[in-house]
């Protein structure tokens, strides 16, 4: 059967719009949590302060913030986005590499899945450190790498905040 755009049932665009707004706004929570986690570890290491109670709380909040962001992104990608809905259908739209559509259908989800995995690996590795300095160093390294992965996957050309 040939691809017929008129026969495609598009998702609820009102819900799509609101989830997209929330997803775009929540990225700032994720990035601020990541920066706070890394900066706190740097300062606490420099001042030889204990890792707990701030370190574990910031790391946990960063992980949870990434989890929420990935859940919203998955909802957009799998069910709500008209772009991915059309692109994933058999015989769907062909996306030229380098296009914005290709970024949102292929590149962005791949980078963010890697970041999702990285933040959870970071949580485990940081918790396994044996000293306060070890916790701080691992936080700087592993949460820092996660933050860099996230920064690489953000579509910076899009509006910084939608309303």
Band of the pLDDT at 162, cuts 50, 70, 90?
Answer: confident
Indicate whether 31 belongs to any domain.
no
Q: Residue 126: which of 111, 145, 110 has the closest Cα?
A: 145
Q: Residue 19 domain-assigned?
A: no
DSSP characters for 16-56? HHHHHHHHHHHHHHHHHHHHHHHHHHHHHHHTT--STTHHH
Contact of 163 with 18, CB cutoff 8 Å: no
Counted domains in the chain: 1
Higher pLDDT pick, 81 / 7: 81
Q: Is residue 8 part of a domain?
A: no
Residue 23 lies in a domain: no
Say if residue 3's pLDDT is above 80: no
Instruction: Give pLDDT tens digits for 35-89.
Output: 999 999 999 999 999 999 999 999 999 999 999 999 999 999 998 988 887 787 7
pTM of the model: 0.88
With helix as H, strand as E and coil as C, how does 74-87 read? HHHHHHHCHHHHHH
pLDDT band at 163 (very low <50, low <70, confident <90, very high): low
- Predicted pLDDT of residue 13: 82
Query: Which structural domain range is residue 131 located in?
Result: 37-88+95-163
In a domain, 134, yes or no: yes
- Which pLDDT value is given to residue 9? 59
What are the tens digits of pLDDT across the range 9-38? 566 788 999 999 999 999 999 999 999 999
**13 or 102: which leads in pLDDT:** 102
- Residue 9 in any domain: the answer is no
57 within some domain: yes
Q: Is residue 144 part of a domain?
A: yes
């Amino acid at each position: 059967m040939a691809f017929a755009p008129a026969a495609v049932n598009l998702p609820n665009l009102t819900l799509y719009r609101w989830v997209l707004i929330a997803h775009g706004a929540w990225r700032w929570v994720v990035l601020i949590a990541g920066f706070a986690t890394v900066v706190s570890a740097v300062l606490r290491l420099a001042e030889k302060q204990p890792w707990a109670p701030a370190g574990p709380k910031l790391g946990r909040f960063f992980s949870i913030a990434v989890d929420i962001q990935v859940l919203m992104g998955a909802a957009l990608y799998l069910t709500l986005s008209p772009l991915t809905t059309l692109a994933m259908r058999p015989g769907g739209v062909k996306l030229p590499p380098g296009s914005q559509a290709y970024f949102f259908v292929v590149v962005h989800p791949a980078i963010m899945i890697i970041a999702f995995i990285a933040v959870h690996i970071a949580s485990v590795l940081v918790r396994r450190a044996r000293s306060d300095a070890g916790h701080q160093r691992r936080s700087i390294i592993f949460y820092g790498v996660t933050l860099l992965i996230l920064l690489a996957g953000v579509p910076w050309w899009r509006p910084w905040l939608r309303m």
